[in-house]
Amino acid sequence: MDPTAFRKMAVIGASANRSKYGNIIVRDLKRKGYEVYPVNPKLDELEGLKCYRSLEDLPKDVELIVFVVPPEIGIEEARKAVSLGFKRLWFQPGAESKEIEDFLKNQNVEYSFYRCVMVETNI
């Protein structure tokens, strides 16, 4: 899956802490011109962007969901994403697990493990 093919990306695990990848990725994608939808239940705004409390609150036309959360949170969010009809899931290094992969294998979705969205969007 090539993330540069998509313009609208949500980031699950978006963080107000500028030293955490959940913030660095939001800033990087925004700087590159992507429409970024940060997801964090505790924030209203992040880096000048509206922050969404959950996957359920996202616009339905988000094209790619980027996971920057531990696998134990990622599995629950992956299940939610699939049930909501999102079709492309990107797991940052460290966000993946065998349990998530086993679940996704049986779903009608595209997914990526072990690749960094910041590296892959450097065009």
pTM listed for this prediction: 0.95
- Domain count of the fold of the chain: 1
Domain of 14, CATH number, reads 3.40.50.720
Q: Which domain holds residue 84?
A: 3-120
DSSP 3-state of 52: strand
DSSP 3-state of 55: helix
Residue 25: closest CA among 108, 101, 119 = 119
pLDDT tens-digit map of 83-111: 999 999 999 999 999 999 999 999 999 99
Phi, psi of 60 (to 5 degrees): -70, -10
How many angstroms separate the CA atoms of 7 and 94, rounded?
Answer: 24
Per-residue pLDDT band for 123 (boundaries 50, 70, 90) equals: low
Q: What is the DSSP string of 56-102?
A: GGS-TT--EEEE-S-HHHHHHHHHHHHHTT--EEEE-TTS--HHHHH
10 Å CB burial of residue 123 (0-12, 13-18, 19+) is exposed
